A and B are shown apart, each in its own frame.
Chain A
């Protein structure tokens, strides 16, 4: 089954404790992206990647890191989480964007709480 898998589904942590949210897709997609969803703000893009070793900042990259060492994986790293990073996070993937077949596939989300 084609899917984007995020882990964990829920995460509670404390300020300053490094954490990683994993994202994996099994569709051989070139493009992957991370979003955060906050009430009244919709989804905001954090980082995206057009292919292995190619990443770029989205609208709200501060406090986050990503890596794309393999095509299928795109982890989101918070080196020193702060309470304002409490949010619902989504990973998504698609074929190279801009084509007629473009369609983003979303993971089920990771609810992060930073105390």
Chain B
């Protein structure tokens, strides 16, 4: 069965600092990987996704993620965090044609002024 682990429940960074959110997955074949962001009281919004090809994926709002098959990881990064990035971030893995998407438990990001 597929699974996703986000080891950091809560991360605090200062505005302007760099950010890396960790995501490790378990999946038997080539995974479909996603990062979603949830602002308070809102649904989830897709930041970026990896299906195949280039392992460094660019997303919206200046985020990027790198797929590392050898480490079963898909970490999310941003070089300079803005106060508006404060939200909860979810990593997810999907099975493609069957489309059973499994989400991690989320990482809450706090941005200090």
> Quick check: B49 and A106 within 8 Å, CB to CB?
no
- From residue 38 to 76 of chain A, which have CB atoms closer than 8 A to chain B? 40-45, 48, 50, 58-59
Contact residues in A for B94 (Cβ distance below 8 Å) = 97
Are the C-beta atoms of B45 and A43 separated by less than 8 Å? Answer: no
Asked whether any CB of chain A lies closer than 8 Å to the CB of B71, the reply is no
Most buried by B among A41, A90, A100, A106: A106
Q: Is the CB of A58 within 8 A of B106?
A: no
Interface presence of B96 (CB below 8 A): yes
B103 within 8 A of A: yes
Chain A positions within 8 Å of B6 at CB level: 42
Interface string of A77-98 (1 = CB under 8 A from B): 0000000000000101000011
Chain A residue nearest in CB terms to B52: A100
Whether, in the assembled complex, A13 has its beta carbon less than 8 Å from a beta carbon of chain B, the answer is no
B99 near A48: Cβ-Cβ < 8 Å: yes
* Residue B113 at the chain A interface, CB threshold 8 Å: no
Chain A interface size, as a band, is 20 to 34
Whether A103 contacts B96 by the Cβ 8 Å rule is no
**Complex Cα spacing A97 to B43, Å:** 19
Q: Hey, which chain A residues are within 8 Å of B105, CB to CB?
A: 40-42
CA gap between A98 and B32 in the complex, in Å = 8
Considering only residues 5-52 of chain A, those with a C-beta below 8 Å from chain B are 31, 33, 35, 40-45, 48, 50
The residue in chain A whose Cβ has the minimal distance to the Cβ of B104 is A42
Structural contact, A97 and B97, CB atoms closer than 8 A:
yes
- Least Cβ distance of A94 to chain B in Å? 8
Chain B residues near A (Cβ < 8 Å): 4, 6, 9, 32, 34, 36, 41-46, 49, 51, 90, 92, 94, 96-97, 99-106
28 CB contacts below 8 A, A to B, read A33-B99, A33-B101, A40-B9, A40-B105, A41-B105, A42-B103, A42-B104, A42-B105, A42-B106, A43-B90, A43-B92, A45-B101, A48-B99, A48-B100, A90-B44, A97-B97, A98-B32, A98-B97, A100-B51, A102-B51, A103-B49, A104-B36, A106-B43, A106-B44, A108-B41, A108-B43, A109-B42, A109-B43
